[in-house]
Structure 1
């Protein structure tokens, strides 16, 4: 990669400024291929200087983003799914180089939370236009890995493990494959012998079988429907929120799912679910010597004996095209 000039300033609204961008394209993302990468590069090159690189292995986007920040690029454009965006963010947290996500995956949770169009061409047009905003977004951390919108310990992480073993089916069936794996894990493993964990906060200590933390306004999406576990201020609130699943019983499955998908009644109103009003400093430990499966932004990061959560308010600079800042920006 060639040398670049300094980064854009916080709150900058663009104009005639020509930015130096590194485009990271994940060729394995569900809606990204060589033709898509060329179209995106062409669209961005009309106003900005763009270097395009394809990711080649797990963790590659972290390495490339970290190098781009060291070389002074204005922003890293992450073209892929939420896993690609997560890796790019992990290379950019705390640096002057901004993250510019584009919707190149199946769900595109982070892009939705930033108010970006789900259509890739429209999102490229925004980023390649005259106007842009640079804002500081919060990022959560579990152990040594940052996450942009959500992280889970237990049931959903186990489902992610299984989904990742079959990337072709994942790409084809998306949310339906994940839902089927989640149901399979719940009925096959968690109902009979769930991983036992202890959740410790500054105020309490209690048992659980799954912990789900959200940094954004929703935990994830199922199709167009947001799944909100706990009302939360979103990417710019300065805190994390989440829930702990106290038990894994078949009788709880339907009512908890109904609450999560309908939003008519809060998930935390069900007796099997405990609200975790703050996630900063929360620690989850194994109680039965089995390692805990952990996922960040839908990306499996393996099994660990404990999960330590923290939040870094405003630690990630985010570049978003358009005349309006992202939803929820207060600083």
Structure 2
């Protein structure tokens, strides 16, 4: 069994690179580590079943390494080094790097779901519409200066330019149609730098599809405020649709940009997604879910998030 350290030096503020993690791994008793850069590809063919592949980067980097782990039957270790680190939130990993590396050394692991969207694997969330703007437009300099608030800043600048998405969402036996501001397909409980879906888990075998209808600013803000206060969407307001199933299909009237775990997949009009339960083994002590709420509804967890930066209760 080998330890691999796959590093994305461009992730986050750049301070959690190879030397940072090698020092903590060495202190935890892991001396022999094969180090490779994320952009390399040769290492992928050298990975053997049971190897521990440690991804030092953000969610995009973890996604890339996770796909290799699934293919090669290796075990994924997450060393959070990016802007949002949402996949790490699902795993309830220790924030202290020394404690995290001791967990890696212990070898404790669990199995989690992974999702595929039009043939592309993702771990956290895929977006259509407004939610794609932060991934497309937030610059690396903004991410390093402002962290997860860079996404909100980009969103606030572009919110007025959206005309909505006409489409039909089929999720299991349920169907929702209309003009949408944003559509999110989530595999786990966390995305967007800490936003969550109540009671969702990354090992429940389900996709959570959360779609926000195009509404007036006043109605969007009201739905957002009520969701924050009630911890679920208002019962008599259809601004937010929340559907669950192992697979879903979305038919759009026109092609729109699609992103998955922050990566731009191009413009598409037909989107199909499904989840494979317990297909990925990760180094982790226990999984976590968002705090239980009266209804499974999208919530925004960080108390310090500027309220005017998020005009709706949906995933951004």
Instruction: Indicate whether the TM-score tops 0.5.
Output: yes
1:327/1:87 CA distance change after superposition, 3 Å: same
2:115 maps to: 140
2:196 maps to: 228
Out of 167, 171, 187, the position equivalent to 1:197 is 167
Out of 56, 64, 68, the position equivalent to 1:87 is 64
Contact 1:110 1:149 in 2 (8 A): yes
Which has the higher mean CA deviation after the structures are superposed, 99-108 or 42-51?
42-51
Q: 1:113 aligns to what SS in structure 2?
A: helix
Out of 165, 170, 190, the position equivalent to 1:218 is 190
**Unmatched 5+ stretches in structure 1:** 6-19
CA distance in 2, matches of 1:275, 1:138: 19
1:259/1:243 CA distance change after superposition, 3 Å: farther
1:107/1:259 CA distance change after superposition, 3 Å: farther
1:275-330: CA deviation from partner (whole Å, max 9, x where unpaired): 2122x33111221x3x222222233322222211100001111123xxx43336xx
Residue 310, structure 1, aligned to residue 291, structure 2: no
1:47 maps to: 30
Contact 2:148 2:192 in 1 (8 A): no
1:91/1:64 CA distance change after superposition, 3 Å: farther
Q: 1:146 aligns to what SS in structure 2?
A: strand
Contact 2:54 2:77 in 1 (8 A): yes
Q: 2:33 aligns to what SS in structure 1?
A: strand
Residue 73 of structure 1, CA deviation = 5.7
Residue 32, structure 1, aligned to residue 17, structure 2: no
1:111/1:68 CA distance change after superposition, 3 Å: farther
1:264 maps to: 230
CA distance in 2, matches of 1:248, 1:68: 52
1:8-58: CA deviation from partner (whole Å, max 9, x where unpaired): xxxxxxxxxxxx11101101011435x7412312332433531011223xx
1:263/1:40 CA distance change after superposition, 3 Å: farther
Q: 2:116 aligns to what SS in structure 1?
A: strand
Compute the TM-score of the two structures, normalised by the length of structure 2. Answer: 0.80
Contact 1:137 1:314 in 2 (8 A): yes
Compute the TM-score of the two structures, normalised by the length of structure 1. Answer: 0.77
Contact 1:208 1:247 in 2 (8 A): yes
Contact 2:9 2:17 in 1 (8 A): no
Alignment of 1:226-305 (within 5 A): 226-229=194-197, 231-258=198-225, 262=228, 264-267=230-233, 269=235, 270-278=237-245, 280-287=246-253, 289=254, 291-305=255-269
CA distance in 2, matches of 1:65, 1:148: 22
